[in-house]
Amino acid sequence: MAEINDSVKQLVASLNGKHGILGCLLVGRDGTVLCTSLPQDIEVATIGALSATLFSNNDVSIQRMNRGALVQMTLLTDQGILHFIETAGHYLVVLTARGQRINLEGLIRSVEEQGKSLSKVLV
């Protein structure tokens, strides 16, 4: 498991506020939350565990459809967007705030860039 240092925490937190982003989680493949920038009133352990399951199950489904490996995933809910990206054996999970107008392309691009940055510092 990667050592979570200040650079990782700063990279995760740096997305807050961009494109309506409420906060992020860095989650291990087992669902363990390694760090978060979400508000304290959000149950991050549950979101982390369920996010890892969602990504993993959808990855299996995508592979069974012969469409390769899942890299990113976006879910639209009545409370906002959840966007997932795999980076260096972890999942970066991004939640948007409720009621925000979201530039989805900008959000995806920002998360992708952040995923690349995280992959360089996760060891």
Kindly report, residue by residue over 24-67, the tens digit of the pLDDT.
999 999 999 999 999 999 999 999 999 999 999 999 999 999 99
Give the CATH number for residue 115: 3.30.450.30
Least Cα distance to 70 among 88, 57, 51 occurs for 57
Query: What is the model's pTM?
Result: 0.91
Domain that holds residue 70: 6-121
| Residue 3 pLDDT grade (very low, low, confident, very high; cuts 50, 70, 90) | low
Which residues have C-beta within 8 Å of that of residue 70, sequence separation ≥ 6?
Answer: 55, 58, 59, 62, 63, 86
Residue 1 lies in a domain: no
Total of domains in the chain: 1
- Mean predicted lDDT score pLDDT of the chain: 92
Residue 32 lies in a domain: yes
In contact, 94 and 15? CB cutoff 8 Å: yes
